């Protein structure tokens, strides 16, 4: 086990000898999403499972307002942790893939991927096409996602040159694997609802439903962070409003954020609990992210890893 002086600085109640958890090995988590998504939450899947198991009843609906690659919702579906999921995404490119899936065209998209001759010239030619066909846009999105630096779809990104082990643009292009994931998604598409919309417009529609849960994973732009601006087209977000909306959720929610002081202050304002969890970034360095919720007593060592000012006894809550 390894220790973190940063953790002790952020959470002063910690002992200097406290052993810290290691980041999750993402290779141990089943990959369900067709995307290679920047800022994806594959590493969070084990913690998400633990959260779901802590709930008294099986949730009817899981809402992921900042869907992206949707790994959390897809895990919940395939492992039968919830009955249905609602994905919301504002990015038109990402939305085109989800729309293609829920409209029953995943097999078409899978076949398109399987038969595409992956060369730099063919990619440039394909991406130069303009079309109003959602399926065609979905294919272009998957193509960019798998051949651009870091899978980044935002402007400024471009085609890989080296890639993994010098394989260049082919280093992340696994047609059989991607096609299989799409075909599997076709089997559960009747349990997926997708809405192309702003997350802050969708959340209030469901806050009063007690059997609905939320996974909130917004772009990391609080406290002047630049990662969200670099990774996503739609990075602007009113973080204070998001926290206010979360405070009105009748059911359960869990939120992930970067460890910015602005975020911690918002969590304290609404008496949310916080827990730090380690992850490895693309450079294989260990960094910390915040898990935020109304009740995190299901997390191991909460009393050690959560700030005293942000811990509230659930029995004393008033609505």
Structure confidence by residue, pLDDT tens digits, 49-86:
999 999 989 999 999 999 999 999 999 999 999 999 99
Mean pLDDT of 306-312: 38
User: Taking the CA atoms of the chain, what radius of gyration do you get in angstroms?
Assistant: 20
Domain 1-28+40-90+198-319 belongs to what architecture?
3-Layer(aba) Sandwich (3.40)
* Token pair recorded at residue 133: 């066909």
pLDDT > 70: percent of the chain = 70
Of 236, 242, 234, nearest to 204 (Cα)?
A: 242
Mean pLDDT of 97-117: 97
* Token pair recorded at residue 279: 């992850």
Instruction: Compute the distance between CA of residue 19 and CA of residue 160 in angstroms, rounded to an integer.
Output: 39
Residue ranges of domains in the chain: 1-28+40-90+198-319, 93-196
Q: Which residue has the higher pLDDT, 32 or 301?
A: 32
Mean pLDDT of 168-193: 92
Q: Which residue has the higher pLDDT, 31 or 29?
A: 31
Mean pLDDT of 133-142: 96
What was the pLDDT predicted at 42?
84
Query: Which of the residue ranges 17-26, 69-78, 191-200 would you say has the lowest mean pLDDT?
Result: 17-26
What was the pLDDT predicted at 147?
87
Question: pLDDT tens digits for 229-249?
Answer: 444 454 578 999 999 999 999
């Amino acid at each position: 086990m390894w220790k973190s002086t940063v953790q002790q600085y952020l959470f002063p109640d910690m002992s200097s000898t406290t052993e810290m958890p290691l980041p999750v090995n993402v290779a141990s988590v089943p990959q369900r999403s067709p995307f290679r998504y920047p800022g994806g939450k594959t590493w969070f899947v084990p913690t998400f499972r633990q959260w779901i198991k802590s709930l008294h009843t099986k949730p009817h609906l899981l809402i992921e307002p900042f869907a992206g690659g949707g790994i959390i919702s897809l895990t919940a579906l395939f492992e039968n942790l919830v009955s249905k999921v609602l994905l919301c995404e504002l990015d038109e490119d990402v939305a085109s893939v989800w729309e293609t899936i829920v409209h029953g065209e995943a097999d078409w998209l899978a076949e398109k991927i399987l038969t595409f001759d992956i060369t730099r010239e063919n990619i440039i030619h394909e991406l130069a096409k303009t079309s109003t066909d959602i399926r065609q846009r979905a294919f272009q999105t998957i193509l960019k996602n798998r051949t651009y630096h870091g899978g980044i779809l935002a402007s400024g990104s471009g085609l890989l040159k080296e890639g993994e082990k010098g394989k260049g643009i082919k280093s992340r292009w696994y047609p059989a694997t991607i096609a299989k994931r799409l075909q599997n998604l076709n089997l559960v598409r009747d349990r997926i609802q997708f809405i192309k919309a702003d997350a802050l417009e969708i959340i209030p529609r469901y806050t009063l439903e007690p059997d609905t849960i939320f996974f909130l994973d917004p772009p990391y732009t609080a406290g002047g962070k630049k990662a969200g601006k670099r990774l996503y087209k739609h990075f602007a977000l009113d973080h204070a409003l998001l926290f206010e909306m979360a405070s009105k959720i009748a059911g359960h929610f869990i939120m992930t954020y970067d460890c910015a002081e602005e975020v911690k202050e918002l969590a304290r304002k609404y008496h949310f609990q916080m827990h730090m969890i380690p992850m490895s970034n693309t450079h294989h360095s260990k960094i910390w992210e915040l898990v935020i919720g109304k009740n995190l007593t299901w997390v191991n060592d909460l009393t050690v890893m959560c700030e005293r000012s942000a811990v509230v006894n659930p029995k004393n809550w008033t609505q």
